[in-house]
Amino acid sequence: MVVSNAGVGGHYLENQFELTQWLYDQGVRPKHIIVLLDPYLIATAGIYNTAFVGSDGVLYEKESASRRHLTYWLKRHTVIYARARNAIAKLHPVDKTDLTPAAVKFYSKAEEAKYREQTLQLFTRLSAWCAERHISTMLVYAPGVVEFKFDPVVQSGRSAGVEVDREVPYRAAYATAASLGIAFQDLRPAMECESLEGQPLALSDQWHYSAPASATAARSIWRAFTGAAPADRCAPPTTPPQVANRS
């Protein structure tokens, strides 16, 4: 069996679905498609993204890039920018490694119904497309690392007037898989083991998993995909995963 990663940095699910269709039209014939679904992708389901690599080598969204160019111009041509920045930094110091304020919207209870609906709509199309081509599908919930130290997200949400729930994106993912009969795997038990053992789950200043966490996730996905007995040492998830027979 050949395993290929078709993920593209900056792509939303709509972009990835379109890429999958294009690859198939180019002659790629997968037997199975495994989709890793994280809170960010759930929140952006049904939306296309346009991204590019900046001159600093970092991937930016189009709107973010425009703002960044404006910031660069202000830095180069004005003195007041630096003065204002320094004054704000003294009054309201910000930890640049803190990703919790941005995470609040992904776990917002007010957005849960929307997240469920848009995720279901997208996977309804994907599932039908795969079924027509006799391609099996598997949905994997890849938790955000903030889920394992969630109190800061709750506090950040409270400050913003937003009620959050750690289970919001997971419920959207699981409900979609259950509604469509798609094989489902939850990475939270495996990642919880890494967290309890003190292993870093993410790269510094990023949402991306660290190398050890990625390896743990890969092993967990492979066990679920092949139907092997789970070897996770932690308690099972709130809702048991449903894994299709791969024989």
113: domain CATH number? 3.40.50.1110
In a domain, 121, yes or no: yes
68 falls in which pLDDT band (50, 70, 90)?
Answer: low
Spatial distance between the Cα atoms of 42 and 112, rounded to a whole number of angstroms = 10
Mean of the pLDDT values across residues 151-160? 93
* Residue range 200-237, pLDDT digits in tens: 888 776 778 888 899 999 999 998 888 864 433 343 44
Q: How many domains does the chain have?
A: 1
Phi-psi region of 139 (alpha: psi -120 to 50; beta: other; left: phi over 0): beta
* Residue range 72-95, pLDDT digits in tens: 555 555 556 556 655 554 554 444
In a domain, 242, yes or no: no
In a domain, 142, yes or no: yes
In a domain, 86, yes or no: no
Mean of the pLDDT values across residues 118-135? 96
In a domain, 71, yes or no: no
* Residue range 162-202, pLDDT digits in tens: 999 999 999 999 999 999 999 999 999 989 888 877 778 88
* Residue range 10-64, pLDDT digits in tens: 889 999 999 999 999 999 999 999 999 999 999 999 998 876 666 666 655 555 5
In a domain, 91, yes or no: no
In a domain, 66, yes or no: no
Query: 200 with 210: CB under 8 angstroms?
Result: yes
Rounded to the nearest angstrom, the gap between the alpha carbon of residue 192 and the centroid of all alpha carbons in its chain is 17
State which residues form the domain around 180: 13-57+99-226
Model pLDDT, residue 167: 96
In a domain, 191, yes or no: yes
